[in-house]
């Protein structure tokens, strides 16, 4: 049987040739992402903003009366409720942020949720509540805090591990690649104003993990080649390492994608944002391992001596004497 | 590397099969197949987002405990000092600034007062509960110690947890989980609930019932201006009652608390047929109620629930039976809820719902079906991709993947961890990523063959050289997973659990098991060429 080869043997793509323009573009993208996060802001879901997210089905109506709901719920004085179709045509999600007046009143979130459900069921007795997520300002503040800690600690702990296993330059490189991935994911969420929830934090941590897989595979090969080809110039050696691991990089990204795409298309509606973030992260992570994590080693001054200490004159003579040179 | 003695093969197979078999009961019950009871365990725990149900986080405000202790202390001090023989007279009592201060009319009594109050200060003797100081020779000031308050909050939360449990049991729901969390929080998880609002109403009701005499001397004009006579206070009428918005002036002290009830039932008033709650006092409470009603025949008293007046009827005659009826515009449901709350006892502190996650049973079921479908299609695609790319080695990887999924489920069932909706995403991610180890190994074997190594050496090198990156990658993923578990909450934790368990099983199945199978094949067939 002839087996499929996604990547031809012995590729020799000069990835590193374009490292400066790619770096410039990536740095600009990172800057643009943060600018977006700062200006447009993230569209916090109830986990982080507090408030209610209620999803439900109108059992006896062909279509959810979204316009009418906007009008009736708008009169409750709860600010601007976000009402969207959710899943089927007769299903909706109603999202209301906690009004500022609710600050310092932990009971407000629950009271408002009851008010919303009562208002809708009064006019539409066929409305069935499928889910109700109500988070008070106190709890959402804790979630925000914990999420920042989780992301920071994960990045630092991983960088420290890479440093221990490789060299400090690799730790910095991996950290930078992760920073790139996290920044671009956040930027994407700010740009498209997709709902940013606890699930997205989980997705980002998964992205961190899998982007790092790629980085580690490339780094491992660089380390191996540094020991093997001690005279090769670093850019050439990095190109060689990336090319040698290219088949694996493509194949793994592909298996991840084919596993995730059905979940994105046919999976539960409430997982959509999370899975979309991970799919996005697969692309960003693969790119960053090749174009962010590898070239930075050149600028950080990695040499073949990073892993094999330079021979002393005595050792060299010793080898000569044994006839190895 | 490729040496697998018999004992090793047997133990690897044993581990694999035992863990994989433990997944069977869960898979059977998820797909609706009934197994005989001996084969029905262990079962994986379904999170509320999949099984349907309510997760409710309740929080108490410790300052409320402090305020209540102060009030109780004031009553005790007053009654102890006025019961003393001869009576010690005090004045200028204040509970402002979280301390109780009062003046003795006769400064010479200070030592006697101190002696009388000492038992109160020391509480149960384990921790000193109050500090007592004397100012200006005749003013005594009592402040709560930190340990005393801490102990009181802990006690209050313990008993609040018990009350919550009794109330939920009274609802007749199955398998509720009620756990104390931190210093001031209680987590309630109730699977498969028909009406979450009923549960919330029940938990939100403190059910502190009080009977206080109405201050007959209060002028309506004073009440309208929000002014009460000394020794009285203004209490608002219930929001949903007939007198909403009005206030009643009642005597602060000398009432009866509803914590001395032995029973409470919803019933109907025999004359008006409106829903009421019938309560029965215990012996002590009954005697107090008899005394109060006898001394105040013809006077009005207020029935106060959670600082709101329900009604203010008149004592028409002494009530000696030890039972009474509470009316005040109830519906059958609200009367029944109040009866449950009163039966289970009052909450020692108000509990506020600060987080609620409710998922209806239909949505949960739909999520499982959609998730399982997506997982099936995804697995199929991964399998096809692996087999067309790596041939025989792809088949090994695929079988390993099958065992991997079973083992993750089996371990989760055995450890009684919870499968949540994000956990399903974790499964799919594990499936996509687990084969990465095989990809690494197989690509390496390809490379080694290209460099001209013989089959066995190429396979051996492939496994050895690839392992480094595999272990490093899994350890870093493990770090990310653990941090997600530590800082995550609820459903997201379920995602971390699947990822973490999946890392271990992936390395075991994708590296160790496939190596054993490849080694067996090489030994048996001794191929000189491999198609990888």
Strands B418-419 and B45-46: parallel
Give pLDDT, residue A262. 95
Residues paired with B303 in a beta bridge: B211, B311
A129 and A56 fall within a common domain: yes
Classify residue B57: in a domain, yes or no: no
B223 and B342 fall within a common domain: yes
Classify residue B397: in a domain, yes or no: yes
Residue A49: name the closest of A186, A196, A185 by CA. Answer: A196
DSSP strand E in B160-299: where?
Answer: 177-181, 185-191, 209-213, 232-236, 247-251, 256-257, 261-268, 275-281
Say which residue, A311 or B289, is predicted with more confidence.
B289
CATH no. for residue B30? 1.20.1640.10
Backbone angles phi, psi at A43, to 5 degrees: -85, 85
CA distance A321 to chain B (A): 30
A152 and A266 fall within a common domain: yes
CB contact at 8 A, A61 and A124:
yes
**What residues have CB less than 8 Å from B53, skipping those under 6 apart?**
B189, B190, B191, B192, B193, B358, B359, B361
Provide the residue range defining the domain that includes B481: 6-51+361-525
Give pLDDT, residue A312. 63
* Interface contact A206-B480, CB threshold 8 A: yes
CATH no. for residue A78? 3.30.70.3400
Q: Which of B326, B357, B388 is the last residue of a domain?
A: B357
Classify residue A280: in a domain, yes or no: yes
> CB distance from B473 to chain A under 8 Å?
yes
A163 and A218 fall within a common domain: yes
Distance, in Å, from the CA atom of A265 to the CA atom of A268, rounded to the nearest integer, reads 9
**What residues have CB less than 8 Å from B450, skipping those under 6 apart?**
A9
Helix (H), strand (E) counts: chain B: 16, 19
B24 and B95 fall within a common domain: no
CATH no. for residue A232? 1.20.1640.10
A32 and A92 fall within a common domain: no
B128 and B217 fall within a common domain: no
B305 and B419 fall within a common domain: no
Q: Is residue B32 within a helix (H) or strand (E), and if so which, with residue range?
A: none
A160 and A114 fall within a common domain: no
Distance, in Å, from the CA atom of B475 to the CA atom of A160, rounded to the nearest integer, reads 12
Q: Which of B322, B357, B392 is the last residue of a domain?
A: B357
Cβ density class B245-272: b for 16+ within 10 Å, e for less: eebbbbbbeebbebebbeebebeeeeee
B322 and B256 fall within a common domain: yes
Distance, in Å, from the CA atom of A290 to the CA atom of A250, rounded to the nearest integer, reads 12
B468, B484, B531: residue with CB nearest A150: B484
**Residue ranges of B 200-219 with Cβ closer than 8 A to chain A:** 200, 204
CB contact at 8 A, A135 and A107:
no
Instruction: Classify the complex by whether its ipTM is higher than 0.90, answering yes or no.
Output: no
* Interface contact A216-B476, CB threshold 8 A: yes
How many Å separate Cα B373 from the centre of its chain?
Answer: 32
Residue A107: name the closest of B258, B269, B205, B116 by CA. Answer: B205
A144 and A287 fall within a common domain: yes
Classify residue A170: in a domain, yes or no: yes
**What residues have CB less than 8 Å from A271, skipping those under 6 apart?**
A199, A263, B367, B371, B421, B422, B424, B425
Provide the residue range defining the domain that includes A84: 51-135
A167 and A186 fall within a common domain: yes
A130, A202, A254: residue with CB nearest B495: A202
B353 and B372 fall within a common domain: no
Chain B residues with CB inside 8 Å of A5's CB?
389
A133, A154, A260: residue with CB nearest B479: A154
Give pLDDT, residue B200. 85
When scoring B472, B482, B500, B530 by the number of chain A Cβ atoms within 10 A, the one with the most, hence best to mutate, is: B472
Classify residue A68: in a domain, yes or no: yes
Determine if residue B245 is left, alpha or beta; phi over 0 gives left, psi from -120 to 50 gives alpha, anything else beta.
left
B128 and B256 fall within a common domain: no
Give pLDDT, residue B125. 65
Q: Is A303 helix (H, G, I), strand (E, B) or coil?
A: coil
A186 and A248 fall within a common domain: yes
Classify residue A6: in a domain, yes or no: no
Give pLDDT, residue A308. 64
Give pLDDT, residue B399. 95
CATH no. for residue B106? 3.30.70
Given a cut of 90, is residue A257 above it in pLDDT?
Answer: yes
Number of structural domains in chain B: 3
Q: Is residue A94 within a helix (H) or strand (E), and if so which, with residue range?
A: strand A88-97
Chain B residues with CB inside 8 Å of A258's CB?
378, 381-382, 385, 432
CB contact at 8 A, A180 and A284:
yes
Supply B1's token pair: 């590397």
DSSP A124-171: -TTEEEEEEEEE-HHHHHHHHHHHHHHHHHHHHHHHHHHHHHS-HHHH
Look at A28-32, A136-140, B200-204, B480-484 and tell me which has the smallest mean pLDDT.
Answer: B200-204
Q: Is 0.90 surpassed by the pTM of this model? A: no
Angle of helix A198-228 relative to helix A234-244, nearest 10 degrees, comes to 120
**What residues have CB less than 8 Å from B219, skipping those under 6 apart?**
none
**What residues have CB less than 8 Å from B322, skipping those under 6 apart?**
B280, B281, B283, B285, B286, B289, B290
B121 and B270 fall within a common domain: no
Classify residue A79: in a domain, yes or no: yes
* Interface contact B378-A263, CB threshold 8 A: yes
CA distances from B386 to A121, B342, B441, B502, B532 (A): 51, 64, 13, 19, 11
CA torsion sign, A165 to A168 to A171 to A173? negative
DSSP strand E in B147-297: where?
Answer: 177-181, 185-191, 209-213, 232-236, 247-251, 256-257, 261-268, 275-281
Q: Which of A94, A119, A135 is the last residue of a domain?
A: A135
Distance, in Å, from the CA atom of B506 to the CA atom of B504, rounded to the nearest integer, reads 5
Q: Which of B357, B380, B399 is the last residue of a domain?
A: B357
A113 and A218 fall within a common domain: no
Chain A residues with CB inside 8 Å of B389's CB?
3-6, 251
A163 and A269 fall within a common domain: yes
B310 and B250 fall within a common domain: yes
B370 and B405 fall within a common domain: yes
* Interface contact B352-A107, CB threshold 8 A: yes
B74 and B96 fall within a common domain: yes
Classify residue B532: in a domain, yes or no: no
B217 and B301 fall within a common domain: yes
Supply A98's token pair: 């906690």
Classify residue B162: in a domain, yes or no: no
Number of structural domains in chain A: 2
CB contact at 8 A, B128 and B145:
yes
Classify residue A2: in a domain, yes or no: no
A245 and A159 fall within a common domain: yes
Classify residue A169: in a domain, yes or no: yes
Radius of gyration of the CA atoms of chain B, in A: 35
A248 and A148 fall within a common domain: yes
How many Å separate Cα A69 from the centre of its chain?
Answer: 34
Classify residue B455: in a domain, yes or no: yes
Could you tell me the maximum CA-CA distance found in chain B, to the nearest angstrom?
A: 111
* Interface contact A259-B352, CB threshold 8 A: no
**pLDDT by residue for chain B (532 residues), tens digit each?**
678 888 999 999 999 999 999 999 988 888 888 888 887 888 888 888 888 889 999 999 888 889 888 888 888 888 888 888 888 888 888 888 888 999 888 888 888 888 888 888 876 666 788 888 888 888 889 999 888 888 889 988 998 998 898 888 887 777 888 999 888 999 999 887 777 888 888 888 888 888 888 888 888 888 888 888 888 888 998 887 778 888 889 888 778 877 778 888 888 888 888 888 888 888 888 888 888 888 888 888 888 888 888 888 888 888 888 888 888 778 888 888 888 888 888 888 889 999 999 998 888 888 889 999 999 999 999 999 999 999 999 999 999 999 999 999 999 999 989 999 999 999 999 998 889 999 999 999 999 998 889 999 999 999 999 998 899 889 989 998 999 999 888 788 999 999 999 999 999 999 999 999 999 999 888 888 887 7
Give pLDDT, residue A191. 95
Radius of gyration of the CA atoms of chain A, in A: 26
Strands B185-191 and B53-60: antiparallel
DSSP 8-state assignment for residue B143: E
Q: Would you place residue A302 in the very low, low, confident or very high pLDDT band (cuts 50, 70, 90)?
A: confident
Classify residue A263: in a domain, yes or no: yes
Say which residue, A248 or B316, is predicted with more confidence.
A248
């Amino acid at each position: 049987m002839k087996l499929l080869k996604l990547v031809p043997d012995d590729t020799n793509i000069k990835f590193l040739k374009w490292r400066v323009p790619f770096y410039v573009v990536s740095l600009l993208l990172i800057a643009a992402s943060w600018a977006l996060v700062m200006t447009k802001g993230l569209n916090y879901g109830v986990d982080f903003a507090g408030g209610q997210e209620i999803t439900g089905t109108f059992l006896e109506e062909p279509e959810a009366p979204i316009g009418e709901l906007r009008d009736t719920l708008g009169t409750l004085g709860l600010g601007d409720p976000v009402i969207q179709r959710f899943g089927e045509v007769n299903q909706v999600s109603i999202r209301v942020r906690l009004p500022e007046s609710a600050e310092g009143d932990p009971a407000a979130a629950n009271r408002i949720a009851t008010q919303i459900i009562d208002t809708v069921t009064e006019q539409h007795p066929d409305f069935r509540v499928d889910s109700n997520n109500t988070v008070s300002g106190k709890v959402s503040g804790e979630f925000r805090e914990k999420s920042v800690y989780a992301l920071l600690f994960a990045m630092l702990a991983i960088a420290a591990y890479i440093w221990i296993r490789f060299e400090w330059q690799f730790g910095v490189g991996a950290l930078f690649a992760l920073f790139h991935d996290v920044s671009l994911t956040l930027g994407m969420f700010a740009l498209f104003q997709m709902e940013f929830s606890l699930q997205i934090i989980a997705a980002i941590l998964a992205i961190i993990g899998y982007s790092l897989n790629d980085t580690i595979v490339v780094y491992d090969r660089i380390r191996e080649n540094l020991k093997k080809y001690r005279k090769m110039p670093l850019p050439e050696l990095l190109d060689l390492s990336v090319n040698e691991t290219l088949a694996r990089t493509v194949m793994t990204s592909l298996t991840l994608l084919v596993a995730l795409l059905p979940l994105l298309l046919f999976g539960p509606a409430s997982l959509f944002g999370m899975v979309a973030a991970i799919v996005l992260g697969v692309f960003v992570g693969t790119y960053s391992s090749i174009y962010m994590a590898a070239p930075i080693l050149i600028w950080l001054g990695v040499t073949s001596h990073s892993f094999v200490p330079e021979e002393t004159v005595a050792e060299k003579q010793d080898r000569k004497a044994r006839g190895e040179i | 590397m490729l040496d697998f003695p018999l004992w090793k093969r047997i133990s690897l197979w044993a581990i694999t099969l035992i863990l994989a078999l433990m997944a069977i009961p869960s898979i059977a019950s998820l797909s609706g197949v009934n197994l005989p009871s001996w084969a029905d365990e262990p079962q994986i725990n379904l999170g509320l987002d999949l099984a349907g149900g309510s997760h409710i986080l309740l929080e108490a405000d410790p300052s409320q405990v402090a305020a209540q202790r102060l009030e109780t202390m004031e009553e005790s001090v007053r009654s102890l000092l006025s019961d003393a023989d001869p009576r010690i007279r005090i004045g200028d009592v204040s509970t402002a600034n979280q301390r109780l201060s009062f003046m003795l009319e006769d400064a010479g009594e200070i030592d006697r007062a101190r002696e009388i109050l000492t038992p109160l200060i020391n509480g149960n003797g384990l921790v000193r509960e109050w500090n007592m100081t004397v100012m200006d020779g005749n003013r005594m000031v009592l402040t709560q110690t930190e340990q005393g308050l801490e102990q009181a909050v802990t006690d209050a939360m313990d008993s609040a947890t018990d009350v919550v449990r009794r109330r939920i049991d009274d609802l007749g729901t199955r398998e509720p989980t009620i756990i104390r969390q931190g210093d001031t929080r209680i987590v309630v998880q109730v699977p498969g609930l028909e009406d979450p609002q009923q549960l919330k109403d029940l938990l939100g009701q403190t059910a502190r019932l009080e009977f206080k005499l109405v201050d007959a001397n209060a002028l309506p004009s004073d009440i309208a201006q929000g002014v009460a006579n000394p020794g009285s206070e203004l209490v608002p009428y219930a929001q949903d009652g007939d007198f909403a918005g009005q206030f009643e002036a009642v005597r602060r002290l000398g009432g009866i608390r509803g914590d001395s009830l032995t029973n409470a039932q919803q019933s109907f008033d025999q004359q008006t047929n409106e829903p009421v709650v019938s309560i029965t006092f215990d012996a002590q409470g009954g005697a107090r109620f008899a005394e109060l009603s006898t001394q105040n025949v013809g006077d009005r008293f207020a029935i106060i629930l959670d600082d709101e007046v329900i009604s203010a009827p008149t004592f028409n005659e002494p009530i000696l039976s030890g039972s009474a009826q509470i009316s005040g515009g109830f519906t059958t449901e609200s009367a029944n809820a109040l009866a449950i709350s009163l039966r289970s006892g009052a909450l020692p502190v108000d509990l506020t719902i600060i987080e609620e996650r409710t998922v209806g049973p239909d949505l949960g079921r739909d999520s499982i079906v959609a998730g399982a479908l997506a997982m099936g299609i995804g697995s199929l695609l991964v399998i096809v991709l692996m087999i067309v790319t790596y041939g025989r080695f792809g088949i090994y990887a695929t079988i390993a993947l099958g065992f991997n999924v079973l083992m993750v489920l089996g371990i989760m069932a055995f450890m009684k961890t919870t499968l949540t909706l994000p956990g399903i995403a974790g499964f799919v991610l594990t499936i996509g990523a687990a084969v990465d180890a095989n990809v690494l190994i197989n690509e390496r074997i390809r490379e080694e063959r290209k460099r001209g190594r013989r089959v066995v050496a190429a396979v051996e090198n492939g496994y050895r050289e690839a392992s480094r990156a595999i272990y490093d990658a899994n350890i870093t993923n493990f770090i990310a997973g653990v941090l997600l578990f530590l800082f995550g909450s609820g459903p997201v934790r379920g995602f971390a659990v699947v990822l973490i368990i999946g890392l271990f099983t992936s390395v075991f199945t994708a590296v160790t098991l496939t190596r054993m199978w490849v080694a067996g094949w090489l030994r048996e067939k001794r191929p000189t060429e491999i198609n990888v």
